[in-house]
Amino acid sequence: MRPETLAIRTQTERTGEKEHSTPLFLTSSFVYDSAEDMAAAFADDTLDVNIYSRFSNPSVDEFVKKVCLMEGAEEGIATATGMAAVFSSFMTFLSAGDHILSASAVFGSTHAILTKYLPKWGIEYSYFDMNKPETIEGLIKTNTKLLYVETPSNPGLDIIDLKFVADVCKKHNILFIVDNCFATPAVQQPIQFGADLVLHSATKFMDGQGRVLGGVVVGKKELINQMYLFIRNTGPSMSPFNAWVLSKSLETLYVRMEKHAANALYIAKALEGHPALSWVKYPFLESHPRYDVAKQQMSNGGGILTFELRAGLDGGRKFLNSLKWLSMTNNLGDSRTIASHPASTTHSKLTEEERQTVGITPGLIRLSVGLEHPDDIIEEILQALN
């Protein structure tokens, strides 16, 4: 079966009730037929037996299995949030004295983990410019254990050649982790280009309607087994209810991402050349500096575009205040179009120099393009620009 079909037809084994829609296993624990069975369960450190929903749960297992099939991964683990997925990945594979090499263009909270928290535990970090992948190898140290990248990046929509980075990591025996949140497995599968682990904030396009929080990491089985023990013991597990919602959402991910991308490309083309804008950026616009790479590793450009207001920081606030019905929120990947101004919100804690380093200019607007009629969306944006 193809991934689109697997996303719909993969579900927990039908119970005696003969339900068609997958059931929700809203339980904190599981029972045993004997004391011997219970003892055997606790002696098993794998995902193969249900003990407690902090460890595993059938609803969570179904969601993870679907993502694995869509990403082409051997195994996976779900977390309570996308940031829990990021942090758990770092904490599982990094120890005091290690070095992580990360793209400088990362989400604000990921930047905080790298710069504020990892150094407290004796873990070094270095940043590289996604637009200069040839500089990566020169930044690798003898203690470099992990390379981390978002592509497309949040919010700058930088793109990097995944196979190129994977080859560098393989050469130096470095773990390669890719945040695939913006693209989703419906658009891009980093594992086929050489990534060891792929993670998502399932809160975004995977849910698609701004309802629940969640994260997921998929990849090689031996790596996921290590992460499972970290998450089992520290507790950032996904709730069964959220997993059930997300699993149902994956059934429509492919058709939603096609519509998100079609709307986004239409709007990006309509905005190019507008006198109030310095530039418009979208992976499938020919003006994108890595358009050729995006076309090679993505099936479409995704649902996010950015543009730069000539009026700068104050112009960004004025633009948001001029919107009539388009949503202002820090989320993305919703069925409803969302506008945000990273310089004054998600990345406001960064210094001006740090924002410039990751491509967050004062007038940058991030648009998460929804599923509304594209002409309604562009009319709303144009009236706010005017």
Residue at 12: amino acid letter: T
Residue at 151: amino acid letter: T
What are the DSSP calls for 165-216, one per residue?
HHHHHHHTT-EEEEE-TTT-TTT--GGGGT-SEEEEETTTTTT-SS----EE
The verdict on domain 254-385 having CATH code 3.90.1150.10 is: yes
Residues 6+ apart with CB under 8 A from 57: 25, 27, 50, 240, 243
Cis ω on the peptide bond leading into residue 152 (within 30° of 0)? yes
Check residue 44 and give its pLDDT: 72
73: exposed, middle or buried (Cβ count in 10 Å: 0-12, 13-18, 19+): buried
**Could you tell me if 128 and 102 are in contact, meaning their C-beta atoms sit under 8 angstroms apart?**
yes
Check residue 345 and give its pLDDT: 73
Domain ranges of the chain: 3-252, 254-385
The pLDDT tens digits of the residues spanning 331-343 come to 999 999 999 998 8
**DSSP-derived 3-state class of residue 52:** strand
Q: Tell me which long-range contacts 230-237 makes (C-beta under 8 A, separation of at least 24).
A: 230/88, 230/91, 230/92, 231/77, 231/79, 231/88, 232/54, 232/55, 234/88, 234/91, 235/54, 236/79, 236/80, 236/81, 236/84, 236/87, 236/88, 237/53, 237/54, 237/55, 237/60, 237/78, 237/79, 237/80
Name which of 168, 32, 179 is nearest 105 in CA terms. 179
Strand-pair partners of 149: 178
CA distance 342 to 182: 16
The verdict on domain 3-252 having CATH code 3.40.640.10 is: yes
CA distance 93 to 171: 18
272: exposed, middle or buried (Cβ count in 10 Å: 0-12, 13-18, 19+): middle
**Could you tell me if 103 and 149 are in contact, meaning their C-beta atoms sit under 8 angstroms apart?**
yes
CA distance 96 to 309: 43
Joined tokens for residue 168 = 């560098």
> Strands 304-309, 277-281: parallel, antiparallel or unpaired by DSSP?
antiparallel
Check residue 166 and give its pLDDT: 98
Low-confidence ranges of the chain (pLDDT < 70): 45-47, 347, 349
Give the CA distances from residue 307 to residues 150, 304, 310, in Å, rounded to whole numbers and listed in that order: 19, 10, 10
What is the pTM for the complete model shown?
Answer: 0.94
